[in-house]
Amino acid sequence: MTDTNEKAPQQEGAISDFGIDTTSRSTGEALRDYVAKVKGGDLGALPALLGLLVLVIFFSVRSDVFLTLNNIANLLQQGSGIVIIAMGLVFVLLLGEIDLSAGTASGVAASVMALHLVRNGNLMEGMGDTVFYIFVVLLILAVAAAAWMRLWVGAALAAVGPVIMLLGVPPNPWIEMLLALTVGTAIGCITGFLVARVGIPSFVVTLALFLAWGGVILQLIGQGGTLAIRESKVLFNVANGNLDTFGSWALFVLAAGGYAAIVLTRHFSRLRKGLVAKPTSLVLIQVAIVVVLSAAGTYLLTLNRAVNPTFVIAGVPYVVPIVLALLVIGTLVLDRSKYGRHVYAVGGNAEAARRAGIDVPKIRMSVFVIASSAAAIGAIVYSSKVGSVAPSAGGGNTLLFAVGAAVIGGTSLFGGKGRLRDAVIGGAVIAVIENGLGLLKQGAAVVAMVMGLVLLLAASVDALSRKRAAVSGR
């Protein structure tokens, strides 16, 4: 019979062989490890967070309006559309691909949504017979492409679009938003199929579609035309409405409490299993900071921020829970699912992923479906904010700011590195720059130049950190 004392060294040796770290670290050791990781080139979102802090301080000093409650709420509402589109683009960038058509794809989704609303559900009349049937055929082809690649969720969602169009479903704000989402999903199916199955480089495909979808928007709306959606209270309130005081605090309890529960449960679970974990003191400080900041933000947003004293504008904007929900769902998908592991694997080394049995074409197609679906949601939020859809919808700086948000936040353009929170952090940087320069009466030229320099700086930091990581062997 084997002695128990003989088993222990064997188990420890096995653990050592498999590289499982069961050592505990003090707070000082954890901080030194983090500093070493940063020096080794693994910067994560640190540059963006530091840049955001500097920008907030700068604009606070230069403008008395910047930190007012009304402007803070406007920042949340104005930047949410770009943040949502950027979240979808993170999936594409993780594979080292690019989607230049995400902006105009969002414009097509918004145009179809608005046209269905103003034409009382009769898209055939709004589009014209020829354009209507061509559009329906494209949606059906998108469904077929997704089914061929066995992307069943994408196929099912894209199939809803032609059904709504052919049946002439009456207008309803929820139907309009669903229609926009299905159009975005179908566009992603077409884009992903051309990249993943046909084998056309994503830069070429999405550049061509960027131009094509821009033409579709112009065809649907008309030169100089505008489709108003502000008549629909539900659609208009997506980006302009606010939760009441009870709803705001309920959101705080759900979001901050949920975050604390997940982080602490995961931490103490690792401790019970003997796995390496952060010092408990650091985890508690991390949770406390998030809870305190969330409580302070909720309290401030529940105060009346109306400029006119005869009105009351208070509560957390609706876009906040929308962005939080997408952030939580997307983070769980990337960090806690088999699909997320496959995305990182393909982005890190596509050939190694293929040899490991991962369906690389399917993963490659799926990220474009996610990106275009997110672009459609972003289009709903952006259209709600301005109250209408114009021929320029999704054009201009929409794509550039969305890609910039992901890259500025820390997502690598080379693939394999990035988190969904990068889009939120980078989107906050872009929103602060645009808003702050606007308060300082700076024109579009200055905004464009500053945005370009910030994006170039972020790309440079990414490239240099990768070189540093390669040298240090991380």
Mean per-residue pLDDT over the chain, rounded: 86
Q: What is the CB neighbour count within 10 angstroms for residue 386?
A: 17
State what percent of residues in the chain have pLDDT above 70. Answer: 88
What is the predicted pLDDT for the residue at 469? 61
Rounded distance between C-alpha atoms, residue 113 and residue 94, angstroms: 30
Tens digit of each residue's pLDDT (9 = 90 or more) over 134-172 = 999 999 999 999 999 999 999 999 999 999 999 989 989
Lowest mean pLDDT among 94-108, 283-297, 381-395: 381-395
How much is the pLDDT for 144? Answer: 96
Cα–Cα distance, 379 to 343 (Å, whole number): 25
pLDDT for residue 456: 83
Tens-digit pLDDT profile for residues 408-419: 888 887 777 888
Q: Percent of the chain having pLDDT more than 90? A: 47
Angstrom distance (rounded) from CA 98 to CA 203: 6
Average pLDDT over residues 344-371: 93
Nearest in space to 107 (alpha carbons), one of 433, 414, 398, 415: 398
Nearest to 295 by CA among 255, 322, 240: 255
pLDDT of residue 298 exceeding 80: yes
Q: What is the dihedral of CA 155, 109, 327, 202, to 10 degrees?
A: 70
pLDDT at residue 37, as a whole number? 65
DSSP for 188-254, please give it.
HHHHHHIIIII---HHHHHHHHHHHHHHHHHHHH-TT--EE-TTSHHHHHHHH-B--HHHHHHHHHH
278 falls in which pLDDT band (50, 70, 90)? Answer: confident
Q: Answer whether residue 46 shows pLDDT above 80.
A: no
